[in-house]
């Protein structure tokens, strides 16, 4: 993989990981449209893992206060009953509980989902994501972490687990699921991205061997990481502005258009 290809894939990953349009689906489509792989060929999982490194770092920077609050609250709560009544502990428990169904679904059905990593099934999944976004409420009433309970955490975790399907947006499905449970849009996004941190770290640890075997080259990995970090951080800031204005569903027509054009391209070819 050359530097230009690495930069394009990193840019696509960073821009689409947090916007509700499916980064994994767009990586597949970018590789197809720009000729990085043959039509119908699956995108290497190692590329998905490598580009996620930059977006992982972007979340750490953008949500550093929430990350620190949850970590500090969790560590304090291990030894103090008083600390377990604070917001930090509650937020940490939401993230831990929500991560359980994600791990179970992701690990249990990983081999099945990898077979869907091609242009046609991704296009169908993108259309599905568009329906999810279009039908989701624009806002919710619950805006404090302590107003959320175990049902909210599990709902978000299941939504994130099912988003392992390429083309189903992880951020879109988790935020939409929480909006349906009357959670404020900004809080839904914060919990969604904290859950992403755990899932992304787990995928990186489990997939480090695949990255090494793929032999992408350290320069390519570095370029992908930098590109996905910069664009991911900017996309995060943009998404919070979009959610504040209640315009989450605006991405649905875009998803339907991209999916339709991709399907037409495959049929004409």
Measured CA angle at 78 (ends 72, 81), to 5 deg: 100
Cα(185)–Cα(232) distance, rounded to whole angstroms? Answer: 19
For residue range 27-79, list pLDDT tens digits in order: 777 777 766 654 444 445 566 666 778 888 899 999 999 999 999 999 999 99
* pTM as predicted: 0.84
Flag whether pLDDT at 194 surpasses 50: yes
CA-CA-CA-CA torsion for 96, 97, 103, 109, nearest 10 degrees? -170
Note the pLDDT of residue 206.
61
- Residue with the two structure tokens 């206060």: 65
Task: List pLDDT tens digits, range 205-215.
Answer: 665 555 555 56
Judge whether residue 16 has pLDDT over 60: yes
DSSP per residue, 38-58: -TTPPPPHHHHHHHHHHHHHH
pLDDT value, residue 121:
85
């Amino acid at each position: 993989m050359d530097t230009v290809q690495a930069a394009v894939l990193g840019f696509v990953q960073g821009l689409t990981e947090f916007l509700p349009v499916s980064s994994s689906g767009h990586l597949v489509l970018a590789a197809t449209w720009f000729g990085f792989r043959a039509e119908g060929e699956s995108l290497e999982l190692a590329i998905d893992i490598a580009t996620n490194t930059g977006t992982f770092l972007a979340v750490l920077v953008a949500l550093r206060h929430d990350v620190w609050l949850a970590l500090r609250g969790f560590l304090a709560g291990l030894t103090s009953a008083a600390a377990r009544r604070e917001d930090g502990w509650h937020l940490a428990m939401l993230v831990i509980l929500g991560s359980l169904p994600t791990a179970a679904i992701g690990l249990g059905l990983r081999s099945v989902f990898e077979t869907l990593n091609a242009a046609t099934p991704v296009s169908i999944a993108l259309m599905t994501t568009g329906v999810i976004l279009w039908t989701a409420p624009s806002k919710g009433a619950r805006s404090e972490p302590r107003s959320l309970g175990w049902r909210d955490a599990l709902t978000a975790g299941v939504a994130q687990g099912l988003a392992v399907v390429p083309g189903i947006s992880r951020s879109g499905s988790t935020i939409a699921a929480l909006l349906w449970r009357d959670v404020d849009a900004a809080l839904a996004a914060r919990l969604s991205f904290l859950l992403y941190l755990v899932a992304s770290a787990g995928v990186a640890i489990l997939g480090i061997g695949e990255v090494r075997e793929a032999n992408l080259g350290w320069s390519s990995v570095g370029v992908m990481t930098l590109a996905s970090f910069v664009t991911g951080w900017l996309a995060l800031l943009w998404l919070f502005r979009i959610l504040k204005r209640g315009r989450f569903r605006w991405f649905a027509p875009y998803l339907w258009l991209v999916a339709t054009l991709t399907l037409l391209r495959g049929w004409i070819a």
